[in-house]
Amino acid sequence: MPGEEEKIIKQYQALIRALIPYEQDNRLLEGLNRFSMRIPSSVRKVIRDEVVRLSSLTDAPADNSAFAQFPVIKFKHFGVDMRLDKVGAHILKTESTLYQNRYTVGVFESITNSDFYQAHIKKEQYKKIVDAFTVETQSLKDIQFGDDIAIAPNFQVACTEFEKGRHFTVGALSSDTMMLESKRPPKVEKGKVYQFQLPEVFGSTGKEVPLHYMLGKVCFNKETEKYETHFELTEDNDDKIPGQLTRYIKNAAYQQPLKRELEVERALQDLERDRVLLNSPWVAIALKAGKRGLEPALALFTNANSKQNKGYASLQAFEGKTNFAALLDELTIFSEAFFFRGTIKTKQGDLNIEATHRQLLEFNLFTPVMYLLCRDKNMQCFHCRLTELDASNKKVAFATHDISRSEYPDLDNLSHMLFYTDITSRLGPQVLLDPCQLGPVHSKLLADTCRSKIDFVVEDGLERRQEPRYDIDKPASLKLGLLSSVNARLTDISGHGMRLHLTEPPGKEKLALQVKVSVPEFRIKNERYDVIYYCEKSGLLRLKLPDGAKVEQTIVQFLEANASYFRNKDSGRRQRMMQRFIWELAMRHHPSASVICVANRFLLDRIKTLYIDESSQDLYPFTQEQNIAPLHGFFADQGQSKPKSALLQSLLKTKSAQRGVIHCQRKSDRKLVFINEKDFLYKSLRQNIAGHLREEKTELCVTRVQSVKCDNTVSSMTKKRLAQLSKVDKIMYEKMLNMQASYTHVIYLTNESALQAALACAKLKPVMPKKTGPETPVQKVAQ
């Protein structure tokens, strides 16, 4: 029947177009057998006849003026009259190519079909949108210059035959070449061999090593305004020389500047990775191997991550020894976890919960516990990710900041990095769609009372010390009353304060607001100090001198007189060294994809670079190819003929904001559908998605998009990165320093599908906020 044939042709349209090239090569039967083995014979006949019909030649004149969007041009093609616009002419060309440059019924129908025309327009528009939101990606790993690596060493060389023995600065030194800089062009002969005396810094002979170099070329560098003389290492040298040079260059690559062009690339990468970490909401905890597995060693706090995670108190969530061990076991398998902390009120009393969402699912308690936890105002949810530290990155961190492994053995023992960020605001109160009952809560889900203290280091802006403090260990005593005193150990001292650990801590009621302290070795006897902090449990006591104390000048003079002794015990210096080491590692292992935005009058041109680890899944369900990543699925507006982004515009207008971008992917045909965040959270569509998730018909992809406005103050790390560049190019140094003000925002893309899918399947629904400000409707491009 004609109606049934039309349905078959519409259903198998893709197969029909795939079979056309086979028909052109007279291999239609082979194509049918290849693509349609399980199709009924009656359907195969309809498909075959349609392919033959479309491939038959015609002389019908083509006209698309009825639906053309551009001016129509009259011309003849294949000897046939045509009235086509530029889109129609493009369709004519592409369709003719499909039919081996012949004018067939299929070509005629494609040109005169309005639906085919509109589909072509939409495809071109979609391609423009994808291209507009495509951004170049950069790896978190260091740039590997390979054989091109060359340093600009801090020494000069000379040769008696070259320019009368004058000394010249070495602009670039590699394993087989050398470049000398001079203000005037040297009078030299190309191909002549010169013998230079290089210092002993790279060798082990005990004497200055003479090296033979052949002159290559002399050129003028307009950027440095200097003449560059290039030499190549000859074969007359000792066989050990190239190896010695290579080892020296590799070892000095992070203590000395690289060749000018390479140093500019390295400085730019370091500054942008610093920018990512500086504004990141993730707190890094460095882990070391302990007796029972990995243990927390040091946490790194910045101005940005301390605000996101409500200060140092967030570390308390990871102090429970048993809970932390269970968290690490899960992170070792999945590399990420969602960690919950809060109190559940029951008839038997309060239960302090510290568990991951997978632990709750394992004990079939996810729905009731999450419902009750979300009612607790102090509930916290942390998104955690674990990464193993690369040994080469640790080596770079030691070399870059000139830290001795023997002096800091604890840093050398670090093996992993745990990142966490507080996403409690992404949850909010939840309502139950179906009634459920809280069963017995397993002890593994409860907070461990045996807890460990996690030390931390801070960014310069968070430093609380107002003067240097020195780590020492000296006996001291504390006078509590007329006849009572307590022995103590002095653990650090400064010009106006000290820290003591009491051997037998008395009760707080026995400790006055002001006490008398004696430290015989520092000639401090019964001096009055104000108490600013006391912990009865640990015996920790912090003191400060009262205003106008006479002993103040004596202590300051004592510290200055013994400066060489106290320099190595400066706790502030030690903290800075550890902070920079942890920073260097965290910068190279940042856990989420990060988009750097710069100032520009055009919105889409503000997206500059995407920094992402090769193994990251934060762009899923979209993928990057080589060093190009599509971001249209996260930012582009849907249904627009031109590239626009209401979401990007709103994110860049605020100081800090975050949204969720949701996609559903059907497993049957891998079709991707965009879901509005409000519809997913609050509408009945949520139940439909949950049903498909439980039946494993679809896959939920939720990406947290968080924007943070950059603080463009020049930090100590910025100066550190540019210090080497200033030695080889002062002009570029000034440009890159001024360029730091052009960075405006960093947008972090983080996949949180595992948690959101669990919440949807648990029949939990967020409560819509009562008061919400007017928001610009955000529509996305769906693939």
Q: What is the mean pLDDT of the segment spanning 11-17?
A: 86
- Predicted pLDDT at 783: 44
State the Cα–Cα distance between residues 239 and 233, nearest whole angstrom: 11
User: What is the model's pTM?
Assistant: 0.83
Q: What is the mean pLDDT of the segment spanning 103-109?
A: 91
- Predicted pLDDT at 550: 65
Residue 274 backbone class (left: φ over 0; alpha: ψ -120 to 50; beta: rest): alpha
Q: Which long-range contacts (CB under 8 A, 24 or more apart) does 190-193 make?
A: 190/215, 190/216, 190/217, 191/215, 193/234, 193/236
Report yes or no: 758 and 357 within 8 Å, Cβ to Cβ: yes
Other Cβ atoms within 10 Å of 125 Cβ, number: 14
What's at 448, amino acid-wise? D
pLDDT in tens, 734-747: 999 999 999 999 99
State the Cα–Cα distance between residues 543 and 400, nearest whole angstrom: 37
Tokens of 577: 């060294």
State the Cα–Cα distance between residues 742 and 597, nearest whole angstrom: 9
Q: What is the mean pLDDT of the segment spanning 366-390?
A: 91
Report yes or no: 83 and 64 within 8 Å, Cβ to Cβ: yes
In sequence order, the 6+-apart residues with CB closer than 8 A to the CB of 4 are none
Q: Minimal CA–CA distance to 437: which of 500, 365, 523?
A: 365
Half-sphere CA count of 629, side-chain side, radius 13 A: 30
Fill in the DSSP letter of residue 504.
S
State the Cα–Cα distance between residues 576 and 463, nearest whole angstrom: 10
Fill in the DSSP letter of residue 724.
H
Q: Minimal CA–CA distance to 249: which of 185, 327, 349, 170?
A: 170
- Predicted pLDDT at 427: 87
What is the residue-wise DSSP string for 397-450? Answer: HHHHTT--TTT-HHHHTEEEEEEEEE-GGGT--EEESS-----PPPGGGBPPSS
- Predicted pLDDT at 347: 80
- Predicted pLDDT at 205: 47
What is the residue-wise DSSP string for 343-409? Answer: EEEETTEEEEEEEEHHHHHHTT-HHHHHHHHTT-TT-EEEEEEEEEPPHHHHHHHHHHTT--TTT-H
Q: What is the mean pLDDT of the segment spanning 526-554?
A: 79
pLDDT in tens, 639-682: 777 888 999 999 998 877 889 999 999 888 788 889 999 999 99
Fill in the DSSP letter of residue 158.
-
Is residue 502 scored above 90 in pLDDT?
Answer: no
Chain centroid, CA 684 distance in Å: 35
In sequence order, the 6+-apart residues with CB closer than 8 A to the CB of 713 are none
* Domain parsing of the chain, residue ranges: 2-127, 150-252, 281-462, 473-569, 592-766
Other Cβ atoms within 10 Å of 254 Cβ, number: 19
- Looking at the domain covering 473-569, what would its CATH class be? mainly beta
Q: What is the mean pLDDT of the segment spanning 675-691?
A: 90
Tokens of 317: 């969530």
Cα dihedral sign, 431-434-437-439: negative
State the Cα–Cα distance between residues 395 and 298, nearest whole angstrom: 18
Q: What is the mean pLDDT of the segment spanning 240-256?
A: 86
749 — pLDDT class (breaks 50, 70, 90): very high
Tokens of 731: 């002009």
- Predicted pLDDT at 776: 47
Q: What share of the chain is helix, strand, coil (3-state, %, to 5)?
A: 40, 30, 35
Three state DSSP letters for 15-52 = HHHHHHHHHHCCCHHHHHHHHCCCCCHHHHHHHHHHHH
Angle between helices 105-112 and 41-55 (to 10 degrees): 80
In sequence order, the 6+-apart residues with CB closer than 8 A to the CB of 678 are none
Is residue 777 scored above 60 in pLDDT?
Answer: no
Fill in the DSSP letter of residue 250.
H
552 — pLDDT class (breaks 50, 70, 90): low
Tokens of 344: 């559940």
CA 589 to each of CA 614, 705, 752: distance values in angstroms, whole numbers, following the listed order: 11, 19, 19
- Predicted pLDDT at 781: 44
Tokens of 754: 């595992």
Fill in the DSSP letter of residue 100.
T
DSSP, collapsed to helix, strand or coil, labels residue 341 as: strand
Question: Residue 251: exposed, middle, or buried by beta-carbon count in 10 A (0-12, 13-18, 19+)?
Answer: middle
526 — pLDDT class (breaks 50, 70, 90): confident
pLDDT in tens, 124-154: 888 888 888 999 999 899 888 888 899 998 8
Higher pLDDT among residues 635 and 290, named by residue:
635
Residue 628 backbone class (left: φ over 0; alpha: ψ -120 to 50; beta: rest): beta
CA 701 to each of CA 394, 494, 617, 621: distance values in angstroms, whole numbers, following the listed order: 34, 54, 11, 7
Is residue 206 scored above 50 in pLDDT?
Answer: no
Angle between helices 13-24 and 28-35 (to 10 degrees): 150
- Predicted pLDDT at 701: 95
- Same topology, domains 150-252 and 473-569? Answer is yes
- 172 strand-pairing partners: 179
Q: The tokens 């990464």 sit on which residue?
A: 387
Chain centroid, CA 156 distance in Å: 41
- 351 strand-pairing partners: 344
| CA end-to-end distance (rounded Å), the chain | 36
Q: Where are the alpha helices (DSSP H) in 589-715?
A: 632-635, 646-653, 677-682, 685-694
Residue 83, H or E segment: strand 80-84
Other Cβ atoms within 10 Å of 140 Cβ, number: 19
Helices (H) and strands (E) in the chain — how many of each?
Answer: 25, 32
Half-sphere CA count of 771, side-chain side, radius 13 A: 0
State the Cα–Cα distance between residues 262 and 152, nearest whole angstrom: 10
User: What is the b/e burial string over 401-418, where b = at least 16 CB atoms within 10 angstroms of the residue's CB?
Assistant: bebeeeeeeebbebebbb
Range in 225-229, 461-465, 664-668 with the lowest mean pLDDT: 461-465
Report yes or no: 596 and 608 within 8 Å, Cβ to Cβ: yes
Pairing of strands 455-458, 293-301: parallel
Higher pLDDT among residues 409 and 552, named by residue:
409
Identify which of 49-58, 186-195, 465-474 has the greatest average pLDDT: 49-58
State the Cα–Cα distance between residues 619 and 593, nearest whole angstrom: 8
- Predicted pLDDT at 202: 57
User: What is the b/e burial string over 607-618, where b = at least 16 CB atoms within 10 angstroms of the residue's CB?
Assistant: bbbbbbbeebbb
Mean pLDDT over the full length of the chain: 86
Is residue 548 scored above 70 in pLDDT?
Answer: no
Percent over 90 (pLDDT), the chain: 35
Q: The tokens 């000018």 sit on which residue?
A: 260
Tokens of 370: 């999450």
Tokens of 618: 């934060």
Report yes or no: 490 and 476 within 8 Å, Cβ to Cβ: yes
Pairing of strands 62-63, 80-84: parallel
Percent over 70 (pLDDT), the chain: 93
93 — pLDDT class (breaks 50, 70, 90): very high
Q: The tokens 């905890």 sit on which residue?
A: 285
Higher pLDDT among residues 513 and 330, named by residue:
330
CA 141 to each of CA 147, 276, 378, 584, 630: distance values in angstroms, whole numbers, following the listed order: 18, 14, 38, 11, 21
Residue-level length of the chain = 783
CATH superfamily of 150-252: predicted glycosyltransferase like domains (2.40.10.220)
Tokens of 454: 């996690």
- Predicted pLDDT at 156: 85
Beta strands in 443-539 (DSSP E): 455-458, 470-479, 485-493, 497-502, 514-519, 524-535
Residue 656, H or E segment: strand 656-666
